[in-house]
Amino acid sequence: GQSLEQPSEVTAVEGAIVQINCTYQTSGFYGLSWYQQHDGGAPTFLSYNALDGLEETGRFSSFLSRSDSYGYLLLQELQMKDSASYFCAIDTGRRALTFGSGTRLQVQP
């Protein structure tokens, strides 16, 4: 089976940088995705890492180390609208994504 671990809550202030870590265990691995979900909303795709290294998309960056079974999502210049839950999810090649339990990010003024 697969399992993912990520912190349950993170708090940061507006304008700061925050890193949300994700470690995983899986027998098959194609890539690591990150999704954002606001309360009552749908999960929204943020990024996908298949290879080691850093992928940057605007204020958000995502990192993957396949050898360490570890990734993180980096959010820079935090804004109040970034308050949401963030999920890492692994693609094992079976098409279904396996999601972590999510990290609730609270951005404070």
Partner 1 sequence: DTGVSQNPRHKITKRGQNVTFRCDPISEHNRLYWYRQTLGQGPEFLTYFQNEAQLEKSRLLSDRFSAERPKGSFSTLEIQRTEQGDSAMYLCASSFSSGQETQYFGPGTRLLVL
Q: Tell me which residues touch partner 1 (CB under 8 A).
A: 30-31, 33, 35, 41-45, 48, 50, 87, 89, 91, 94-102
What is the smallest separation between the CB atom of 66 and partner 1, expressed in angstroms? 15
Residue of 32, 38, 46, 41 lying closest to 75 (CA atoms): 46
Quick one: 34 or 75, whose CB is closer to partner 1?
A: 34
What is the smallest separation between the CB atom of 88 and partner 1, expressed in angstroms? 9
Quick one: 39 or 109, whose CB is closer to partner 1?
A: 39
The residues, ordered by sequence, that sit 6+ positions from 63 with a Cβ below 8 Å of its Cβ are 49, 53, 54, 55, 71, 72, 74
Quick one: 65 or 92, whose CB is closer to partner 1?
A: 92
What is the smallest separation between the CB atom of 72 and partner 1, expressed in angstroms? 17
The residues, ordered by sequence, that sit 6+ positions from 52 with a Cβ below 8 Å of its Cβ are 64, 65, 66, 67
Quick one: 72 or 87, whose CB is closer to partner 1?
A: 87
**In angstroms, rounded to a whole number, what is the distance separating the alpha carbons of residues 20 and 86?**
8
